[in-house]
Amino acid sequence: MMKKIYPRTGDTQTVYLNAVVKDPSIEVGDYTIYNDFVSDPLLFERNNVLYHYPINHERLIIGKFCSIACGVKFLFNCANHTLKSLSTYTFPLFYEDWDLQKSDVVTAWDNKGDIVIGNDVWIGYEALIMAGVHIGNGVIIGSRAVVTKDVPPYTIVGGVPARPIRKRFTDDTIQKLEALKWWDWSYEKIKQSLPYLLNGDIENLSKQKFP
């Protein structure tokens, strides 16, 4: 886990996210960054993880080396209203006024599960990720996209609701990247492999043998 909060000297708008979050139900991998030029990025949990209440025991899981732009929001299950009822009004939430059981509060919304973000994902400015969505490794999410469905690895999505635009690489390259899992390599191995990572050289990246 990162202990250093700010990756760059003098830049207090960008943070290593797992050095900032305290909620044990939010899991963030090393080197994932969050940038906020509107609010304090140290307040990520309060400003960006919304309707995330303990009653649902839901998790936000974000992988390593992700880049999260200013204003990205993760909208959890308590923001939902159940579609099983004939009314959209959340009667079970106001159980005291309607003589309902407190234990039935969770029936006021549909629980779609955790939000899971893979590794090396770039989430654009003010994108919105909805409850239950799983996003694969290497995905790019366009600015102000509303992601309501799972996104396959190394796919670019955008729009409202977000739809696939194209794959970032060929299927062969995607398979190699998924197998390599370079984000799990040691710091030393990643550092020595940067010329191949930065220049898109999958063949030489695949040949790296050092620990």
Active site amino acids: 81
| DSSP, residue by residue, 158-179 | ETTTTEEEEESS-HHHHHHHHH
Q: Alpha-carbon dihedral of residues 138, 33, 39, 144, nearest 10 degrees?
A: -10
Name the β-bridge partners of 155: 167
| 41, two tokens | 């990025």
Residue pair 112/77 in contact by the 8 Å Cβ criterion: yes
Coil, helix or strand for 130? strand
